[in-house]
A and B are shown apart, each in its own frame.
Chain A
Amino acid sequence: MRPAASPLPLREGPGEGWRRALTRSAFALTLFLASPAAAAEPVWREVPWPWPRDAWPAGRAFRCEGDACGPRLDLYVRAKLGFCNCGAGVTDDAEVDGTSDLDMVSARFAPTAPGQFVTLAGLHGHTRPYTIANTRAAGFALASTCDLLVVLALGPNAPTPAARDAIASWTDTPEIRSWINRLLGRP
């Protein structure tokens, strides 16, 4: 039996309650020890990939809490090998509409503004804001020669510059950057 599609809010896997409790404790400790400014820093943790199998192998899912992320920001990251224009890269909004995994959540989504250039994890591409399933989203499609890295951010603040900065910082951390490079076969 496959998991149901569009699991909003995210379902948690086995042991997730403990992980969440630990994370919350750590988060509370951080709040206690740190300055008010530091308390606003995004806190990321990995959650199980919630989507059913589709054309591409599953990626990794992360959840962010902290002022920049809003009440909650969910991030889904995966590679789509061989799915990019090898020469031109990601050149228009239609590619973000078609590739950034919005359809994992719902087939019904609508862009709320034109896209713009973006760089994440050292990769260049486009990002665009959307409304989907009663929330807001930002889709990212980033080119690595003939391969794509796609990132979907879901949450009330997902399309904001603050959330984009938080996502950029997170995907630039050594652990995540190294994983992305492995995914895409980059040095």
Chain B
Amino acid sequence: MRWCLAIGCLLLALPAAAEEQKIGDPPVAVNMRLVGYSDLQARSAYQPTIHRQGDRWIAYVGHHGGSDAVPLPVNPGTGQAEPNGTSIIDVTDPAAPKYLKHLPGQPGTYEQGGAQMVRVCNGRQLPKGDPAAVYMLRTFGGEAHEIWNVAKPEAPVLLTRIAGLKDTHKNWWECDTGIAYLVSGSPEWRIRRMTQIYDLSDPAKPVKIRDFGLVGQEPGSTGAIPTELHGPISTGPEGNRVYFGYGTNKGGVVQIVDREKLLRGAPEPTPANLAAPEVARLTMSSLNGAHTTFPMLRMPIPEFARDKDGSTRDMLMIVDEAILNECNEARQMVWFADLTVETRPMVVSNYTVSEKSGDFCSRGGRFGAHSSNESMAPVFYKKVALISFFNAGVRAIDVRDPYAPREIASFVPAITTNTDKRCVTVEGKERCRIAIQTNNVETDERGYIYIVDRANTGMHILELTGPARAVAGQP
């Protein structure tokens, strides 16, 4: 009888987990706390970058284009309908974010418009920057990269435009050297996205260094075209490596590149010149892509502490991106590769949210990984990684032992009236559901976590609590 009751309770409990989110439902938090919130004017969000400017902390949030239903959301600050671009928010008091400015982007819906990507460098750190300036590098839809002076974040001033491109995406900008790896679509290249490397040490005078990509992508080549770029992360002159992630949810390739050879090598995009700076590559399963390639070098591995060799490892966290709604693809997740023997990279562990834990394939929208925080500030670096997981919200992973990563905290925001539907076609008919779609995550040096939503729900500012906070060593 007791067993029957237990099974009955279990059966009663299961449908509750499978329910779609409803307006009014509370967020689901484990070892995380909601500190503050901005609705981002109900714009679909991609990259958040949090930057300290004097005694202020400013969040710059890139947006996708608008939706079919609302292609030009109204900016309450101006009363104007504006194509999605960049939101600029003062988060000095994270409990009370102040929306300062919406800077419109390229007209167009979804990935056809907006200004998805944003990075920020102080002028005093850039070798030839104006010390009084703060520079924001952003994409302008697919057609251009722009640099703005945001020393007064409520009144950005356009400085530079690199235009004539067929696509853009997830750039990387070294603030100490000014070298920028711009994910671009040069019209002559055989793929939508490749890398254009610029010296932006003087943001007012961009100097192109070279075009770069995998051999076979360059103009004039024939045969199979390797997977297109998603984005790079550089360790700068000190680490002398750039980790390029190719593929999004398919055919992933991680390319490890010697930065010095990349920047100093012959720039003509011949097969030999493109191959020259490559140190090694990790060809992933075709079922997964490389969205984010986040280096965590020289990590002591607790389990190997007493081993005479190999107790410290160079690790790379690879995050795939889920792109199809309701699990209509292979699971996109997180992989940890050991690069200690750099020419023989090997995946040694992985992490995914348990689908069953929230019946996420049935909740609507995308389920799977999208990206990680990219800040290397000591507060979280090599201790806690934050992963955006679409309808499963954000997940905090203890990566102190990257051979055995484990989830320590999570937060799935509540949906609002702004949250947009996500649809699939079932037997010829469109079926739509509304679910949170946590798209990107970033952290600041104070330890706050910023997550933004692809389905227009806005930005949630979080902090770790309890045992998860202890993992990061936060008071």
Contact = CB atoms under 8 A, between A and B. Distances in A.
Interface in A72-113: 81-83, 85-88, 94, 97-98, 102-103, 106-111
B306 interface: no
Contacts, number: 59
B323 A82 contact: yes
A55 B251 contact: yes
B222 A55 contact: no
B190 A81 contact: no
B54 interface: no
Given A86-B111, A97-B190, A98-B190, A186 B428 contact: yes
Contacts of A14: none
A85 B110 CA distance: 11
Contacts of B223: 103, 106-110
Contacts of B108: 87
Contacts of B109: 87
B157 interface: no
B20 interface: no
Residue from the set A55, A85, A185, A187 with the largest chain B CB neighbour count within 10 Å: A55
Interface string B241-254: 00000000111000
B215 to A, nearest CB: 11
B225 A187 contact: no
Contacts of A109: 222-224
Given A87-B109, A98-B225, A185 B251 contact: no
A53 to B, nearest CB: 8
Interface in B424-458: 424-426, 428-429
A103 B223 CA distance: 8
Contacts of A98: 190-191, 225
A94 B225 contact: yes
A109 B223 CA distance: 4
A56 interface: yes
Consensus secondary structure, chain B interface? loop
B324 A111 contact: no
Interface string B103-125: 00000111110000000000000
A175 interface: no
B189 to A, nearest CB: 8
Given A94-B225, A109-B222, A55 B428 contact: no
Given A86-B112, A87-B108, A111 B222 contact: yes
B146 interface: no
A55 B286 contact: yes
B428 A102 contact: no
A185 B428 contact: yes
Interface in B272-311: 286-287
Contacts of B424: 185
B250 A102 contact: no
A54 B251 CA distance: 8
A169 interface: no
A181 interface: yes
B176 interface: no
B250 A55 contact: yes
Interface string B154-192: 000000000000000000000000000000000000111
B359 interface: no
B329 interface: yes
Contacts of B324: 81-82
B152 to A, nearest CB: 35
B110 A187 contact: no
B115 to A, nearest CB: 16
A106 B324 CA distance: 28
A88 B113 CA distance: 12
A82 B224 CA distance: 20
Interface in A38-64: 53-56
B240 interface: no
B110 A87 contact: yes
B224 A94 contact: no
B291 to A, nearest CB: 14
B428 A187 contact: yes
Contacts of B417: none
Interface string B322-345: 011000110000000000000000
A128 B224 CA distance: 14
A185 B426 contact: yes
A48 B428 CA distance: 27
Given A186-B428, A187-B428, A88 B112 contact: yes
B141 to A, nearest CB: 11
A115 to B, nearest CB: 13
Contacts of A83: 250
Contacts of B110: 86-87
Contact of B425 (A53, A54, A88, A186): A186
10 contacts: A55-B251, A81-B328, A82-B323, A94-B190, A97-B190, A107-B223, A107-B224, A109-B222, A109-B224, A110-B222
What 9 A-B pairs are tightest by C-beta distance, nearest first? Answer: A185-B425, A55-B286, A187-B428, A103-B224, A55-B250, A107-B224, A87-B112, A98-B225, A110-B222
Interface of B: 108-112, 190-192, 222-225, 249-251, 286-287, 323-324, 328-329, 424-426, 428-429
Interface of A: 53-56, 81-83, 85-88, 94, 97-98, 102-103, 106-111, 181, 185-187
